[in-house]
């Protein structure tokens, strides 16, 4: 008798296990990407506002060469004038353009301007002439570190109907843009030419 009870109980456990394994798990809806949310700003939302986390932070970007390299193949000290110009653009978390005046770009620029009286620049061009004194057998060049602004904040978005199962969404956002009409940090450098450079430029 006891053997039958144990067998029946074991069969019940096995059946329950099979049912549990066989039942498909409920699939949660995938959340929208940040880009999908941004595209909905003022394009399906009741409210879309950008909340900056603080004023734009000014910093100097990576230093890099601008203009050509001057090679002095003479026996005298030479002053070379290196002309350069450079166009610097903005970048952000999602690789999208902030040049538009509507949608999330317009909301962002209005928030930055009204909160901090800062005009967001999506592209800035700057150039000038630099005199570099180059010794015999050396090369000279100019390096620039571009002045940039960085901002951080959060988009708050309210939907009249549920969007991906929510009425309200928040999306963090960071952007970096150039400071307009700024030379940045300018460094003039010289160094001895390599044998390959001498052969290429002084042969």
Which CATH number goes with the domain that contains 151? 2.170.15
Burial 129-149 (b: 16+ CB within 10 A, else e): ebebebeeebbbbbebbbbbb
Residue 103 is assigned to a structural domain of this protein: yes
**pLDDT at position 29:** 73
Residue whose token pair is 């099979």: 18
**pLDDT at position 27:** 58
Other beta carbons less than 10 A from residue 81's beta carbon: 10
Report which of 139, 154, 157, 156 is spatially closest to residue 195, judged by C-alpha positions: 139
Q: Which residues contact 122 (CB under 8 A, 6 or more apart)?
A: 89, 90, 97, 98, 99, 177
Residue 87 is assigned to a structural domain of this protein: yes
Burial 117-128 (b: 16+ CB within 10 A, else e): ebebbbebebee
Residue 149 is assigned to a structural domain of this protein: yes
Residue 23 is assigned to a structural domain of this protein: no
What total number of domains does the chain contain?
A: 1
C-alpha neighbours within 13 Å on the C-beta side of residue 75: 0
Residue 12 is assigned to a structural domain of this protein: no
Residue 140 is assigned to a structural domain of this protein: yes
Q: Where are the beta strands (DSSP E) in the chain?
A: 47-52, 57-71, 78-89, 91-92, 123-134, 138-163, 166-178, 185-192
Which two three-digit tokens encode residue 168? 């309200």
**pLDDT at position 28:** 62
Residue 174 is assigned to a structural domain of this protein: yes
Residue 86 is assigned to a structural domain of this protein: yes
Structural domain of residue 67, as residue ranges?
31-201
Grouped pLDDT means (10 residues each) for the chain, 203 residues: 38 34 55 94 96 96 97 96 96 92 95 95 96 98 97 97 95 96 96 97 91
Partnered with residue 130 across adjacent β-strands are 82
């Amino acid at each position: 008798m006891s053997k039958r009870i144990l067998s029946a109980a074991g069969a019940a456990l096995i059946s329950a296990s099979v049912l549990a394994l066989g039942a498909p798990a409920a699939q949660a809806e995938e959340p929208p990407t940040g880009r999908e949310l941004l595209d909905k700003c003022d394009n399906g939302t009741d409210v879309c506002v950008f909340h900056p986390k603080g004023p734009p932070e000014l910093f100097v970007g990576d230093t890099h060469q601008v203009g050509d390299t001057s090679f002095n193949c003479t026996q005298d000290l030479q002053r070379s004038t290196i002309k350069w110009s450079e166009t610097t653009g903005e970048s952000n978390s999602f690789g999208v353009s902030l040049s538009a005046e509507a949608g999330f770009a317009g909301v962002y620029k209005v928030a930055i301007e009204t909160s901090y009286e800062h005009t967001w620049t999506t592209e800035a061009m700057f150039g000038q002439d630099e005199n570099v004194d180059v010794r015999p057998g050396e090369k000279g060049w100019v390096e620039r570190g571009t002045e940039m602004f960085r901002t951080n904040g959060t988009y708050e978005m309210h939907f009249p109907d549920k969007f991906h199962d929510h009425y309200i969404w928040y999306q963090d956002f960071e952007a970096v843009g150039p400071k307009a009409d700024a030379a940045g940090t300018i460094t003039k450098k010289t160094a001895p030419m390599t044998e390959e450079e001498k052969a290429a430029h002084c042969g």
